[in-house]
Amino acid sequence: MEKVVTLHPAAWAGKRVFLTGHTGFKGSWLALWLRQLGAEVHGYSLAPETNPSLFTLARVESALAGHTLGDIRDADALRSAMIAARPDIVFHLAAQPLVRASYKDPAATYATNVMGTVNVLEAARGCTNLSAIVVATTDKCYDNREWAWGYRETDALGGHDPYSASKACAELVAASYRRAFFANGPLLATGRAGNVIGGGDWSEDRLIPDAERAMRAGTPLVIRSPHATRPWQHVLDCLHGYLVLAQRLLAGDAACATAWNFGPDGAATRTVEQVLQGLQQHWPALIWQLDANATTGKHEAGMLHLDASRARQQLGWQTAWSFETALEHTAAWYRQLHDKTADARALCDQQIDRFTAAASAATSVATSGSAA
């Protein structure tokens, strides 16, 4: 059987990409992947917020055609950078991405995630060659009722905490611009993904980075909600969804200019404690304990996952790496970096290659099954 390839380098060769948030965790991985595909990537973002950072360790700047340090809340600077890049497509990933940080500074969260998105789309209106826009939001944009089943794209938006609500607002902004200003192009879509894991994330208040720091320090990891349930996926599975969607938009498929879920199936849903138990198989030194003040903290969702049936059926997108495989590759990335058996750039390139092969195989199996 002929292998099905979901991403076509010919579709990306020479394409001019404007990427916001390119210094962050997801953005750095996406910049490297786009460069592998042959795209010309122009990044716009604040300086990396963590030290170490994947952007620095993987030498992401060297993979870019353009690198601008700037704030998406600065509409004039953003517009100038985007127009100068003359993009064929915009990926908007820049955000304030943390729930607990949104409680500490809700105004800045809304300014970044809502008005920042407005600024990106306003800047896009001034680009003459632009064909497509992909805005990354989150699974937390839904009005979460703690249901046992996954949310579909047609379910109500909402959000208890400022971060979640700000991303729901960003979805509404995108939908409005799609109808009011982009009816005749560029094609605008949003991507909603779940909790991503992968090497190179050193953010605060994220499970895997916090676990890695605690293990290296030889101290117990303090967790707030051991029974909180989430869908976990490797960052490359999430980004693969964005890229498959973007490729369809670049090809002029107007039916794809809408909102899409890119979450793993139910088999990847785990509690926080189950994730740590799986991680401990790769990091035996990892230990954890419950935060004594956990019951007095701010509200965080207990159960949340997505139904990505539409992306599987209409885009041909499939989860390529199971939860166990994603955890294995994540643990191996940090271990090899720490042991100095490979540098960050080589680790990213190797895992992108392995993922691409797995994604092609997964799509081939799905296509064979549907044909049968």
Domain boundaries, the chain: 13-292+304-371
- Token match 């992108």: residue? 352
pLDDT of 331 above 50: yes
Q: Give 249-268 pLDDT, tens digit per residue.
A: 999 999 999 999 999 877 78
Q: Give 274-296 pLDDT, tens digit per residue.
A: 999 999 999 999 999 998 776 55
Give yes or no for a contact between 138 and 260, defined as CB atoms under 8 angstroms apart: no
For the chain, count helices (H), then strands (E). 14, 12
Supply the pLDDT for residue 301: 55
Supply the pLDDT for residue 67: 98
Percent of the chain predicted with pLDDT > 90 = 85
Q: What angle do CA 277, 282, 288 make, to 5 degrees?
A: 40
pLDDT of 179 above 90: yes
Q: Which amino acid is at 360?
A: S
Give the C-alpha separation, 283 to 277, whole Å: 10
pLDDT of 297 above 80: no
CATH code reported for the domain at 13-292+304-371: 3.40.50.720
Query: Count of alpha carbons within 13 Å of 355, Cβ hemisphere only?
Result: 29
For residue 174, give both structure tokens.
């995108």
Overall average pLDDT of the 8-16 stretch: 96
Give the C-alpha separation, 289 to 273, whole Å: 10
Overall average pLDDT of the 100-120 stretch: 97
Q: Give 117-173 pLDDT, tens digit per residue.
A: 999 999 999 999 999 999 999 999 999 998 888 999 999 999 999 999 999 999 999
Report the predicted TM-score, pTM, of the whole model to 2 decimal places. Answer: 0.94
pLDDT of 356 above 90: yes
